[in-house]
Structures are given as C-alpha cells and as structure tokens.
Chains A and B, each alone.
Chain A
C-alpha cells in the first residue's frame, strides 16, 4: 500500500479539527442553540454538518462541472460560514 501525501493531509486536517474542537468544548463549554434547522446544535454538530454538507457539495460540483474542485471549495467555505453563523 502506497500511502499518498494528499490523503494523509486530508486525514491530518480532520484529526486536527477534531482535536481543536474537543479542546474548545473543554475550555469554553457552551449551551446548545437552536438555529435555522430547528434543531439544537453545538459547535461539534455544526462542524459535522459542515463536513458532510461539503462532501455533498463537492460531489454535486463533480457531477455538474467536473474537476477541478476549486469552485466547490469556495462554495463549501461559504456554506461552512453560513452553518456556523445560523444553524
């Protein structure tokens, strides 16, 4: 098995995100809030919604426009901002 750097980087970023959010949850505890979706979310939930949503945005981009995914990345970033602000 030849492990490749981009895949390793991807998983490193995910793990780093999880660690950062865990530390945030310990250091700055929060109360869940009810946002645009009508469900209670914490920062971690919003991170999950952002990541899963981004995966689908990238899949949709591949379907409609194909590679490269630069545009999808921009859309995902905007989507993430919206999720963290309003959900």
Chain B
C-alpha cells in the first residue's frame, strides 16, 4: 500500500471514452429508467406511473421464479466448469506439438457464435435426427429435452460446459505456465503429495486468473440468453426461462415495457453489485501481494 498522495488529474484523459460511453450506454440506460416510471399504450404517449412497476416487479412470483432458476443455473455452471477447467489445465501437455494442438482444439468452442452453439446442440440432441438424442434412445434412456424439464436442464448445462469450460481451462493453463520450475523442484525435494503441490503451489499461483475466470463465467451465465433461447426457448413450460429470457418475453413478447424496464434495472443492480465485489476482491488481492 502506498501512502503517497495521488495526483488525479490524469483521470481527465478518460473523458473522450466517457463521451462515447454516454452514447452507447448511459443515454440508453436513461431511456430504460424513464420507461420504468411510465406507462404507455403506444403512439408515443406516456403516463406517469411512479413506483408502480417496481412494486409490481419486486413482489412478482414470476420474477422470483426466474431469479431462482437463474441462480441455480449459474451456481451449477460455476460448480462444474471451475473445477473441471482447473482439472483440464493441470492435465494439458506443457510444451511441444500436443500442447499447441490442445490449445487450438480447446479454443474452437470459444470461437463459435452463441446462436450457432445453440443450433448445434438443438440438432445434436434431437431424438429423431440428433446423434446424441438417437444414441440415448438406442441405449434405452428416456431422454427428450423438449418435453422433460430435467432433460432440458441437463442439455443446457452440458452445452454451456462444452462451450465455456475451455475459457477457464485456458486461463488456468496460462497461470500454471508462469510457475517457475524451481517451485516444483522444491516440492519434490520435500516429497510433497500431488494434492499438496496443487493446494500450496499451483492454486495460490493461479488464483488471480481463476478469479477473473470465475467473474467472466458468472457474468456470462447470469446473463445467458441466446443458447437457451435457441435450444429450449425457455421451455418446457417455464422450466428454463432464465432472467434474460423472461425479460425479453415481457418486453418484446407482451410489450410490457414499463415492468420490463423496472425488471431490467433490478437485474442490472444485481450484476453491478456482484461484479463490484469480484473487482474489489481482485484489486485488494493484488495490492496485498505488492506489499
């Protein structure tokens, strides 16, 4: 920690970006806030509704259910992808041809656009023509993601794991590569077990990138829209209607702009809070390491 008083004038250099962000984010956000306090029946006529939409949304069973599903989904995604990503990174070849091949193969899912990933899995899992669906049916497994809520969840989770575990793995791999060999030599001299080497050498060294990976996976999975929209469309019933899917249904499907705006502001607040906590934890960690 430096006790030097900082000269903050350099912050003025950020002003051009601020102007850009005004147009791309702040003014649209202001529009959303305005919608959240008004009611409209179209024709560009607005009626002041005060806190009405917020009261309705905060009490809404529908929103609570979507939030519950969203938290469950994000929780499962983090619980699966983070350990799996670390495990994959630990077992990847460290150098040579196979290392490059692994890196390329693992980057592939990350390069595929979200809606294409959705389409791939939508077809892959179909019981009538999909490879996975047909194979499951041939093995006698009762699997149908369009009619069974549990199957739909399993499909979405496997799809997300396929799409994004590479990100966690690649970040952890980069972290692992930066550990000097001397640490491993010391561990071997001390006859450290594999677990202890991981716990006291590798994990502390990759914790920085791991935090970033967890933050990215949290934000992405908490805002997930395209893939479930393409694969299940939020169904069967409302089983996979996550927050953003519900939000779009409300805003564009039902054209309830006011409630949807109030809903999205609260959604935004949750993301903002969690991102801030992650960011603060990261910065605090770095500051402590620098000391």
Contacts and interface: CB of A to CB of B under 8 A. Distances in A.
Among B6, B8, B31, B59, find the residue whose CB has the most chain A CB atoms closer than 10 A.
B8
Interface residues of A, number: 30
Interface stretch (B99-107, B181-189, B266-274): B266-274
B34 A4 contact: yes
A25 B11 contact: yes
Given A3-B34, A26-B9, A29-B7, A56 B54 contact: no
Contacts, number: 70
Contacts of B5: 29-31
Contact of A4 (B1, B38, B44, B276): B38
Contact of A62 (B44, B58, B269): B58
B31 A55 contact: no
Interface residues of B, number: 34
Contact of B3 (A6, A31, A48): A31
Interface in B129-147: none
Contacts of B284: 38-40
Which residue of A34, A62, A63 has the most chain B CB atoms within 10 A of its CB atom?
A: A62
Interface of B: 1-9, 11, 30-31, 33-34, 37-38, 44-46, 48, 50-51, 54-55, 58-59, 266, 269, 272-273, 276, 280, 284, 287
14 contacts: A1-B44, A2-B45, A4-B38, A4-B48, A11-B30, A22-B11, A26-B8, A29-B8, A31-B2, A39-B284, A52-B276, A59-B269, A66-B55, A67-B50
